[in-house]
């Protein structure tokens, strides 16, 4: 079915994600007016100049009056506070969604703060980004062919879930749905765990340098080739951001680290047992998955 355009879109946090969402919906002709809210006056001014938003306000009552869609595009930590401020001004027909990279804690914040309005809150996570941020970095193609995961709640109307999915599809995204706990487990496995392994690997080199090279990791790293380079590229990421992600998705990440350690211990046991056959089988299975993944990406 075709959904009507949004007459008033409120974007709370007009950065890379929020700004790109507004630009993509504008380009698709699916939004009439965009109101921006945000804490940095300079960034809001830039968003106005770039035509990402039509007006800005810091007043939730004014912003939410007549709004048919509110997107929360803010750090997950701020979700509860913003929902608490919004709640008294939310209209019965307003749809609310977010872009948080963890979902159980966002759902928890929503249940604690939105009251009956939770019926029209559809949690979402677009898996897209660049190394830049702010309104300046926004562009309408950011979500093209990128996954967006919705984690609908039992309180949600299917029609509203479909509407949110439709908006993301018009942004070019490929939309899936799952439970919030499945989402958090999945992201812990495919993103958060790999980051922890990379950070630990770099720390391991650092520790080793104390016995091998008088505490100078570069004296070891100068012998390293592309394998260690590839494995540690993501350790250049923001320490503050990863501290927050870790704490926000703590339980799921702990479970993933534990399961990974069992996998690594299995390999260690094969090695302790001189079990070349099992090692080769393990390496071959891993390669087969890697090759299937590469083929999948090349065709899509």
Is residue 137 involved in binding a copy of itself (CB under 8 A)?
A: no
Of 83-91, 100-108, 160-168, 282-290, the window that binds a copy of itself (rule: CB under 8 A) is: 282-290
Minimum distance from residue 237 beta carbon to a copy of itself (Å): 7
Q: Which 259-278 positions form the footprint of a copy of itself (CB under 8 A)?
A: 259-261, 263-268, 271-272, 274, 276
Beta carbon nearer to a copy of itself, 93 or 204: 204
Q: Which 229-248 positions form the footprint of a copy of itself (CB under 8 A)?
A: 230-237, 239-240, 242-244, 246-247
Q: Which 113-132 positions form the footprint of a copy of itself (CB under 8 A)?
A: 127, 129
Out of 4, 92, 223, 298, name the contact with a copy of itself by CB under 8 A: 223
Minimum distance from residue 158 beta carbon to a copy of itself (Å): 23
Q: What are phi and psi of 267, to 5 degrees?
A: -65, -45
Angle between helices 104-113 and 180-187 (to 10 degrees): 140
Minimum distance from residue 271 beta carbon to a copy of itself (Å): 6
Q: Which 203-222 positions form the footprint of a copy of itself (CB under 8 A)?
A: 203-208, 212, 217-218, 220-222
Q: Which 34-93 positions form the footprint of a copy of itself (CB under 8 A)?
A: none
Q: Could you tell me where the DSSP H helices lie in the chain? A: 16-27, 41-49, 60-64, 79-86, 104-113, 158-170, 180-187, 193-212, 218-221, 226-232, 239-248, 250-272, 276-299
Task: Find out whether 168 and 175 touch, Cβ atoms under 8 Å.
Answer: yes
Beta bridge pairs of residue 33: 8
Of 1-9, 89-97, 114-122, 186-194, the window that binds a copy of itself (rule: CB under 8 A) is: 186-194
Angle between helices 193-212 and 239-248 (to 10 degrees): 120
Minimum distance from residue 169 beta carbon to a copy of itself (Å): 16
Minimum distance from residue 216 beta carbon to a copy of itself (Å): 10
Beta carbon nearer to a copy of itself, 61 or 241: 241
Q: What are phi and psi of 224, to 5 degrees?
A: -80, 145
Q: Determine the Cα–Cα distance for residues 56 and 298; give it in Å rounded to an integer.
A: 42
Task: Find out whether 121 and 110 touch, Cβ atoms under 8 Å.
Answer: yes
The DSSP code for 14 is -
Q: Which 15-44 positions form the footprint of a copy of itself (CB under 8 A)?
A: none
Total residues at interface with a copy of itself (CB under 8 A): 90
Out of 54, 62, 89, 194, name the contact with a copy of itself by CB under 8 A: 194
Is residue 289 involved in binding a copy of itself (CB under 8 A)?
A: yes
DSSP 20-75: HHHHHHHHTT-EEEEEEE-S-HHHHHHHHHTTS-SEE-S-HHHHHTT-SEEEE-S-
Which residue in this structure is represented by tokens 């392994």?
197
Beta carbon nearer to a copy of itself, 95 or 186: 186
Nearest partner of 124 among 152, 145, 166, 104, judged by Cα? 152
């Amino acid at each position: 079915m075709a959904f009507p355009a949004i007459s008033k879109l409120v974007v709370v946090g007009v950065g890379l994600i929020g700004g790109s969402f507004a630009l993509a919906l504008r380009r698709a002709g699916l939004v009439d007016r965009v109101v921006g809210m945000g804490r940095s006056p300079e960034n809001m001014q830039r968003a106005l100049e770039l035509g990402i938003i039509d007006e800005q306000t810091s007043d939730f009552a004014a912003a939410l009056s007549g709004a048919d869609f509110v997107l929360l595009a803010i750090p997950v930590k701020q979700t509860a506070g913003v929902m608490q401020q919004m709640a008294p001004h939310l209209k019965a027909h307003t749809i609310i969604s977010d872009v948080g990279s963890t979902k159980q804690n966002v759902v928890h914040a929503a249940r604690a703060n939105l009251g009956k309005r939770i019926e029209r809150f559809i949690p979402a996570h677009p898996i897209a980004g660049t190394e830049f941020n702010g309104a300046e970095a926004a562009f309408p193609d950011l979500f093209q062919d990128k996954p967006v995961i919705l984690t609908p709640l039992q309180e949600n109307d299917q029609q509203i879930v479909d509407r949110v999915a439709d908006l993301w599809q018009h942004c070019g995204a490929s939309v899936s749905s799952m439970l919030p706990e499945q989402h958090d487990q999945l992201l812990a496995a495919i993103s958060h765990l790999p980051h922890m392994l990379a950070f630990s690997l770099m720390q391991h080199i650092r520790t080793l340098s104390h016995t091998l090279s008088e505490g100078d990791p570069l004296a070891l790293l100068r012998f390293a080739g592309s394998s260690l380079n590839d494995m540690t590229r993501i350790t250049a990421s923001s320490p503050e951001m990863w501290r927050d992600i870790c704490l926000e998705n703590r339980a799921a990440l702990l479970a993933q680290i534990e399961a990974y350690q069992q996998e690594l211990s299995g390999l260690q046991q094969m090695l302790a047992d001189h079990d070349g056959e099992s090692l080769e089988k393990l390496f071959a299975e891993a390669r087969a998955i890697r090759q299937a993944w590469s083929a999948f990406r090349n065709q899509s």
